[in-house]
Amino acid sequence: MTAPSTTSLPVPSGPRNPPHSTPSAANPTSRFAHPSNWLDRFLVPPQTRQLELLDGPLPPRDALLANLRDLALVNRFAGGWAVAAWALERLVGSSSQRSFRVLDIGTGGADVPVALSQWARRRGLALQVDAIDLRHEVVDLARSLAADEPSVRVLQGDALDLGALPQRYDFVLSSLALHHFDPPDAVRFLQAAHARASIALVVNDLRRSRVAWYATRLVSRIFFESFEAKHDGPLSVLRAYTPREVAELARMAGLPGAEVHTRPPFRMCLIARA
């Protein structure tokens, strides 16, 4: 878990949007140009803005639960919570602080904060996590799924409106949420999330590539239970950003010193210190 990442991209310096501004149509965060290099065009498909099924009306409770379990499977075996743990380990380092307050945005079934809390205890750390999601149906299921982990509190909250939260947190985390935002909202999300972190913001998401799309399509057909996950899994890869695009989003959000790390198998991790 502590092995170095294969690639680390520093966020470029330059002009940025002021907080809560909306990029114009000419702004690079409104539409990223497809690579001009033929090899990059082959390896990286164009980004789609087609909505995932779960960005629309939610399915019945049983189908939604199956989808959350499929997402937990992905986070367990394909670099979900492990990427967040890798980032926290880098950030905590040799610090004498052993207890941390954490905000997890877009928590889904809350499997990532539960796994992180268990990981932290094994290392003599204590996490107190507020895990938020937008829809009450997801929040209700997440509360039941995380009921045995006393360090995780599941709340309803909007990733683009964190002002209702009563406090700042040591760490603000997000897993598999960034690709749900179009570029202007992605910039707003990064600004809002970073403002809530007193140590660092950690954003963990998919990396868009053809290999990732084919692999996700195969895995979803074989292992996923829910129709929604079978549909949304490959689409998530096509909605995802590349590391360079995320570095540009971070620049536009005004996150100085942020870094984007690639992590196996098809993940990337943005770390932006407060």
Q: 3-state DSSP call for residue 270?
A: strand
- pLDDT per residue as tens digits for the range 244-273: 999 999 999 999 889 999 999 999 999 999
Q: What are the counts of helices (DSSP H) followed by strands (DSSP E) for the chain?
A: 9, 8
Question: Cis before residue 12, ω within 30 degrees of 0?
Answer: no
Q: Token pair for residue 187?
A: 């910039």
Report CA 151 to chain centroid distance, whole Å. Answer: 21
- pLDDT computed for residue 29 by the predictor: 40
Q: Token pair for residue 245?
A: 């695009």
User: DSSP states of 67-116 as a string?
Assistant: HHHHHHHHHHHTTSHHHHHHHHHHHHTT-S--EEEEEEES-TTSHHHHHH
Burial class, 163, CB count within 10 angstroms (exposed 0-12 / middle 13-18 / buried 19+): exposed
pTM over 0.85: yes
**CATH 3.40.50.150 is right for the domain spanning 52-273:** yes
Residues 6+ apart with CB under 8 A from 182: 49
Q: What is the mean pLDDT of the chain?
A: 89
- pLDDT computed for residue 11 by the predictor: 64
